[in-house]
Structure 1
Amino acid sequence: MSGAANILVVDAGNTSVKFTAFHGDDVLWVHRDTYPVEKKFEPHILYFASVRSKEHSLSLQVELQARFPLSQWLTLYSQAKACGVFNAYREPSRLGVDRWLGVVAAHHLIKDKVVVVDAGTAIKVDVVDYSGVHLGGYIAPGLAMMEEALLSKTAKIRYNVNEITVGQGLPNSTRRAVTEGCYEMALGLLERLYHRYADYQWVVTGGDAQALLHLLGIPVVCESNLVALGAKRVGDEWLRSNMIRGNK
């Protein structure tokens, strides 16, 4: 396949779908939630990565294949090895594909030992050594998920949306107590990990990651499109490999 091909990466996360259009290695545009019909973009191939259930993934796949009936389709999964990166899991497919693609992208972005932090629905942290060996990682509830879990399991922790949400000193309202308590839990996790991996480069993606690490004063490289960049790299390698096999 030509290096100048149009490729659409579809990253189906737990709460939203992210579409990233590539022409060759250049990102043309990024869009969330629904495919932007105003974009005059015809992909030669779609790279599809989903952490959703089989039913929800299939529904999205059917919708997109109906929109692009002439496009090729490649579903990406976590593997034991891809693009010089080695998966720590004994069962590689059990590592979420979003984490796997983020690890691949971060390794090639930094080319050294790296900690990858993705803070969205969940807070995910993965560690990779300088040679591309994924050492493992952590998953914790994201900030919104922590708040929702607390509210859903208690009868009397309630607050109005117009309550004061920021302030100095100890929280003096239920809203602040919940919001800032969840922040402190997330910050505690990241601070402990930074003490262990302070000599690693930290790469962050996801809506809350940059803000959390900024509060800790941790120097980071921000890459909002990390999963899509990993998907592009892994998908391209798969295509090259299969073209070579087909020509033998």
Structure 2
Amino acid sequence: MGEKLVSVAARVLVVDAGNTSIKFTAFEGEQVLWVQRGEGFPTDTGFAPDVIYFASVRSKELSALLHADIQAEFPHSEWVTLTSQAFACGVSNAYIEPERLGIDRWLGVIAAHHLVKEDVVVVDAGTAIKVDVVNKEGVHLGGYIAPGLVMMEESLLSKTARIRYAADEVVVGDGLPNSTARAVTEGCREMALGFLERIHHRYPEFKWVVTGGDAQALLGALGISLESLPNLVALGAKLVGDEELRGNK
């Protein structure tokens, strides 16, 4: 594991606004107190942050609305909006236009580099399956974005008239799929597995770090040795936000 830096604020709230949900992570110093998901801040926690680190992949309009709602809840908290940059926390960004790298991917890469200190493949499998590669020197080499399992299934259903099935038809079976439900769900899963397997063939000696709801199950099916870090983006936000605060003080 990498070295630990002393926190610059006693209480930190990380707001990770993804495409489908918002993840709130509360820190006391370097310790994670709790993690919750929802569209609004959970008001029953009794937690009042000194500083809020805000990372959003949503549109500017939706991000601004969320920003206003949370800031109204904590008007006295310092606020830091995190954006992808060419260099942060010892990591260089592979993108020619660094601000166009999704902030969730950027924070995941930074956290993985600091936690592992080796050549790393970072897999975040949620709404989309995102893969990024960073070497032990902190050079982000680039990465991929592919549809997640649910997105693949929904896209197939939305573009066809006769591929339909009920939720209770999605069952596990042996051999080739023998129902539409199995054909779709297992077909999408095989596509995702093939994508990840090809990347593993290219980087077999790299350490694999995974986050996101589907990542561990997919990579486990391939027999890839991995480390699961469900709070990876929040840990990256803590590192980048603390660095920005240090630079401002």
TM-score in same-fold range (> 0.5): yes
Q: Which residue of 2 aligns with 1:23?
A: 28
Q: Any idea what the Cα deviations from partners look like across 1:180-219, whole Å, max 9, x if unmatched?
A: 0000000000000001101000000000000000000000
3-state DSSP class of the match of 2:171? coil
Q: Specify which of 214, 218, 233 is matched with residue 208 of structure 1.
A: 214
Residue of structure 2 in register with 1:237 after alignment: 243
Any residues of structure 2 matched to 1:97-246 within 5 Å, and which? 97-243=103-249
Shift of residue 7, structure 1, vs aligned partner: 0.5
- Which letter does structure 2 place at the counterpart of 1:110? V
Q: TM-score of the superposition, structure 2-length normalised? A: 0.96
Residues 94 and 140, structure 2, Cα contact 8 Å, conserved in 1:
yes
User: 1:29-51: CA deviations, max 9, x gaps?
Assistant: 00001322110111011000000
| Structure 2 residue 16 is matched with structure 1 residue 11 | yes
Question: What displacement does 1:69 show?
Answer: 0.6
| Maintained 8 Å contact 1:157/1:174 | yes
Structure 2 residue matching 1:131: 3-state secondary structure: coil
Out of 31, 52, 64, the residue aligned to residue 58 of structure 1 is 64
Query: What amino acid is the match of 1:104?
Result: I
- Structure 1 stretches of 4+ moved >4 Å: none
CA drift of 1:3 comes to 3.6
Give the distance between the partners of 1:55 and 1:157, measured in 2 at CA.
35
Contact map agreement 1:127 1:134 (CA 8 A) in 2: yes
User: Paired residue for 1:246?
Assistant: none
Instruction: Identify the match of residue 91 of structure 1 among 88, 97, 100.
Output: 97
- Are the equivalent residues in 2 in contact too, given 1:11–1:228 (CA < 8 A)? yes
Give 1:236's aligned amino acid. Answer: D
Q: Deviations over 1:154-203 (max 9, x none)?
A: 00101122214210000000000000000000000000000110100000
Task: For 2:193 and 2:173, locate their aligned partners in 1 and report how far apart those are by CA, in whole Å.
Answer: 18
* Alpha-carbon separation, structure 2, partners of 1:150 and 1:164: 15
Structure 1: gaps spanning 5 or more residues: 244-248
Deviation at 1:4, TM superposition (A): 5.1
Once residues 5 and 126 of structure 1 are traced to their aligned partners in structure 2, the CA distance between those partners, rounded to angstroms, is 31
Identical positions, percent: 70
